[in-house]
Structure 1
Amino acid sequence: MWYNNILETIGNTPLVKLNKITKDIDATVLAKIETTNPGNSIKDRMALKMIEDAEKSGKLKPGGTIIEGTSGNTGMGLAIAAVIKGYKCIFTTTDKQSKEKVDALKAFGAEVIVCPTDVEPEDPRSYYAVSSRLERETPNSWKPNQYDNLSNSIAHYEQTGPEIWEQTEGKITHLVVGVGTGGTISGAGKYLKEKNPDIKLWGIDTYGSVFKKYKETGIFDEKEVYPYITEGIGEDFLPKNVDFDLIDLFEKVTDKDAALMTREIARKEGIFAGNSAGAAIAGLLQLKHHLKKDDVVVVIFHDHGSRYMGKMYNDDWLRERGFLQDEKLTAKSILAKREKQEMVTIDSDKTVLEAINAMKILNISQIPMTQQGMVIGKITEGDLLNALLENPSIKSAKVESIATASFPFVDLKTSIDKISGMINKENSAVLVEDETGTIEIITQYDIINAISG
């Protein structure tokens, strides 16, 4: 048996029991692994459904252009369908989305426009507003509008819900879903509640999003809205696909807990899932006291870990945000392992001869150059040698005439791996500002000393 095209492989994703990461939960927890869809996410389902419904209604015509604001996964589903069906794609996304998501969209021939995250939805720079403007300006174009297009929820009512019901043999008691557009939890949830009204729908929200407070109070609180890191869930407006009457409760999860749990899923269950899966499991663990032994919980794992290699699966990215505290050496611990020393600098007005004498007396091979106390360049033994070979009389010239670009700056949380990777032929050291605001220099010798010490 074979499929006529890749679109026919969408759906029928596996349900996998979680064991180690949920050992403290007194219930059976099953993960719906949506990464087996051709676009590696659950969004393939609703992307195809929105396109098919638009074709039937005449909104999307042959040779048309699909324009959408997307965090990446919906765009991927739309792009794959567009390849098969012969449409062009233009996507707007936010600058908080991972580079991997943007590159993946481009791989399918889509044009991607990156917009700022920290603006209101109504702001003309927002990815919502830019996509709407492009639709108005582009002939024969169509904007799916995944947030308010109810074909989104219908796709999950027709596919995801029935799959879960059949795979659990009707034993499901709870569905846990990270909520962004709301299509998955509202569509699948509607089907499941029609089968059994006692099934609970738990939506996972993030700090900086309006969903939880709106559900609990009916108040849309703009003060709740602020930028957050977690991808794929939460919103700063109310999508029509979020059925608040259907969803039983929302649980907020911090960026840190979502990021770290995303990694734990891979390490403890061998499942390479995305950020929203981490948020969903972290939220479920926060709600575990609501569960009983005979409960059967299904958690949606929306997308694939490969979309987050530069983020949640990158140690330095986590450290820079204070999410990861481990025993790995950092700039701070390298400084702590050596004796306190004052960094030697030379002012840009000093002469080349003075630089030579300073390096000779202090037995150092490089020296940062300052101007009004600010580091603006560097002088190395190599710089001096090259300058003297070209012009022996340059000794009386100002040192700034032979200076090269400054050593790169790192912060105290930067790992030893990243620092050592930055030290090369062009940069024999890095600079770091310590907790007192003093500039320190870290050399290759300091790294060796820290490792061996």
Structure 2
Amino acid sequence: MAVCEKAGWQSASRPLECPFVYPVVKPAKNVLDAIGNTPLIQLNRYLDTPNVKLFAKLESGNPGGSAKDRPAHEMIRQAIDRGEIDANTTIIESSSGNMGIGLAQVCRYYGMRFICVVDPRAQSQNIAIMKALGAEIDQVDQPLEGDFLSARLARVCYLLETTANSYWPNQYSNPANPSSHCNGTIREIDQALDGELDYLFVATSSTGAAQGCRNYLRSMNRSTKVVAVDSEGSVLFGGTAGPRQIPGLGAGRVPPLARNQTFDHVARVRDLDCVVGCRRMADREALLVGGSAGGVLETVRRMQHQLEHKTCVAILHDSGTRYLETIFNDDWVANELDCGPDALRQLAGITNATEKKAVMS
């Protein structure tokens, strides 16, 4: 028994001690009511300098696992309130993954049929999640004029014309997309930090999150600089189209929401930068984050010396658990991005156990 007690086991006659007191959270009315109020945590080890106060907004804490839960719910809720859709409506949308999951969850809750148009870059796990929630998957296999998004949108239009009582939420132009982040994501960040925020870093695709956050900050007269993180190969912000491997970051054509949008700074990242950020985050902070999050974090690291003595927040859109077969798979990284495990470890600054102990002490 003494050995067991040394190992932390106690006899049944002795009361167990609880060293942590967790805050009481009121129960949600339903799964959709649980969207939002995601964790905001300080990252103390990711950067090379201790003089930057960096926080991460973990949108993987939403019940559907990503930031897209917010606009998915808001777009459908507003359409219901306007009387445009009901339980007999078929919802049709184009998605690289996370929006599809968010809409699959919302549609399943409201009892609506949902068809998600995807392309070959969609993560197999995301497709499996959508199917588990009752979604029907319609995959386009060939790009249109070199762009898969254009092919997906053409397919959406065809399905709308051939499916009775159908509705397209259209995340690419629906104002409910940015407003969900204006009223939710950034408001939560701003209130948690009492308005003391110098820089906000956010990935862009439809630009809904970046737009909504910027609009809120302007309405509150904050001096916060918003850094929009885009991928190389994206046409957003005057970029040049090119191959991209990381879903949910960048765009092959400029969506209506993104037209004429400006931010304080636009930073572009390579696919490999996203992988490096994800691997470094797992190593330094014990957190698995998704592809766009890795790109956002590496943008912060690239700018770290000009951010000294500033308070920064990086919005991390989803979890790395959806990228285990790609970003966290050494063979995939070597084959698709031409970067072997040793080179990847060096780029991410991953140390061995002895070195890590010295760094963390």
Range into which the TM-score falls when normalised by the shorter chain: 0.7 to 0.9
Q: Which amino acid aligns with 2:256?
A: K
Q: Using the alignment, how far apart are the partners of 2:225 and 2:280 within structure 1? A: 26
- Indicate the residue corresponding to 1:58 in structure 2: 83
- Indicate the residue corresponding to 1:314 in structure 2: 329
SS of the residue 1:77 aligns to: helix
Distance 1:117 1:21, change over 3 A: farther
* Preserved contact between residue 149 and residue 253 of structure 2 (Cα < 8 Å): no
- Indicate the residue corresponding to 2:255 in structure 1: 239
From 224, 241, 246, the counterpart of 1:230 = 246
Distance 1:243 1:127, change over 3 A: closer
Q: Using the alignment, how far apart are the partners of 2:233 and 2:264 within structure 1? A: 20
Runs of 4+ with deviation above 6 angstroms: 121-125
From 277, 283, 291, the counterpart of 2:307 = 291
- Indicate the residue corresponding to 2:265 in structure 1: 249
From 125, 133, 138, the counterpart of 2:163 = 138
- Displacement after TM superposition at 1:42 (Å): 0.7
Distance 1:101 1:58, change over 3 A: same
From 238, 244, 263, the counterpart of 2:279 = 263
- Displacement after TM superposition at 1:26 (Å): 3.5
Distance 1:210 1:117, change over 3 A: farther
- Indicate the residue corresponding to 1:365 in structure 2: none
Query: Quick check: 1:153 aligned with 2:178?
Result: yes
- Displacement after TM superposition at 1:272 (Å): 1.4
- Displacement after TM superposition at 1:4 (Å): 2.5
Q: Using the alignment, how far apart are the partners of 2:260 and 2:201 within structure 1? A: 14
* Preserved contact between residue 178 and residue 212 of structure 2 (Cα < 8 Å): yes
Q: Using the alignment, how far apart are the partners of 2:97 and 2:251 within structure 1? A: 15
Structure 1: unaligned runs, 5 residues or longer: 215-220, 329-453
SS of the residue 2:296 aligns to: helix
Q: Name the larger-Rg structure.
A: 1
- Displacement after TM superposition at 1:229 (Å): 0.7
Q: Using the alignment, how far apart are the partners of 1:30 and 1:51 within structure 2? A: 31
Normalising by structure 1, we get a TM-score of: 0.67
* Preserved contact between residue 143 and residue 150 of structure 2 (Cα < 8 Å): no
* Preserved contact between residue 173 and residue 296 of structure 1 (Cα < 8 Å): yes
- Displacement after TM superposition at 1:322 (Å): 4.2
What are the within-5 Å matches in structure 2 for residues 358-437 of structure 1? Answer: none
* Preserved contact between residue 334 and residue 341 of structure 2 (Cα < 8 Å): no
Q: Using the alignment, how far apart are the partners of 1:44 and 1:141 within structure 2? A: 21
- Indicate the residue corresponding to 1:280 in structure 2: 296
- Indicate the residue corresponding to 1:441 in structure 2: none
Q: Deviations over 1:94-129 (max 9, x none)?
A: 211211111111110101122236433888971111
Work out which structure has the larger RCO, using CA pairs closer than 8 Å and 6 or more positions apart in sequence: 2
- Indicate the residue corresponding to 1:191 in structure 2: 216
- Displacement after TM superposition at 1:3 (Å): 2.5
**Stretch deviating more after TM superposition (241-250 or 156-165):** 241-250
- Displacement after TM superposition at 1:227 (Å): 2.0
* Preserved contact between residue 15 and residue 31 of structure 1 (Cα < 8 Å): yes
Q: Using the alignment, how far apart are the partners of 2:206 and 2:42 within structure 1? A: 26
Q: Which amino acid aligns with 1:234?
A: G
- Displacement after TM superposition at 1:273 (Å): 1.1
- Displacement after TM superposition at 1:61 (Å): 2.5
Distance 1:275 1:125, change over 3 A: closer
SS of the residue 1:133 aligns to: helix
Q: Deviations over 1:336-379 (max 9, x none)?
A: xxxxxxxxxxxxxxxxxxxxxxxxxxxxxxxxxxxxxxxxxxxx
What are the within-5 Å matches in structure 2 for residues 334-349 of structure 1? Answer: none
- Indicate the residue corresponding to 2:151 in structure 1: 126
Distance 1:79 1:284, change over 3 A: same
Normalising by structure 2, we get a TM-score of: 0.83
* Preserved contact between residue 25 and residue 288 of structure 1 (Cα < 8 Å): no
From 80, 88, 92, the counterpart of 2:105 = 80
Distance 1:203 1:117, change over 3 A: farther
SS of the residue 1:126 aligns to: helix
- Displacement after TM superposition at 1:313 (Å): 0.9
Structure 2: unaligned runs, 5 residues or longer: 1-25, 344-361
Query: Quick check: 1:12 aligned with 2:37?
Result: yes
- Indicate the residue corresponding to 2:6 in structure 1: none
Q: Deviations over 1:379-405 (max 9, x none)?
A: xxxxxxxxxxxxxxxxxxxxxxxxxxx
Aligned pairs, number: 318
Q: Using the alignment, how far apart are the partners of 1:121 and 1:70 within structure 2? A: 17
* Preserved contact between residue 296 and residue 314 of structure 2 (Cα < 8 Å): yes
* Preserved contact between residue 186 and residue 243 of structure 1 (Cα < 8 Å): no
Q: Using the alignment, how far apart are the partners of 2:58 and 2:256 within structure 1? A: 26
* Preserved contact between residue 291 and residue 327 of structure 2 (Cα < 8 Å): yes
Q: Using the alignment, how far apart are the partners of 1:165 and 1:262 within structure 2? A: 25
Distance 1:273 1:67, change over 3 A: same
What are the within-5 Å matches in structure 2 for residues 13-52 of structure 1? Answer: 13-24=38-49, 26-52=51-77
Distance 1:122 1:309, change over 3 A: closer
Q: Using the alignment, how far apart are the partners of 2:298 and 2:92 within structure 1? A: 34
- Indicate the residue corresponding to 1:69 in structure 2: 94
Query: What percentage of aligned pairs have identical amino acids?
Result: 31
Query: Quick check: 1:162 aligned with 2:191?
Result: no
Q: Using the alignment, how far apart are the partners of 1:167 and 1:81 within structure 2? A: 27
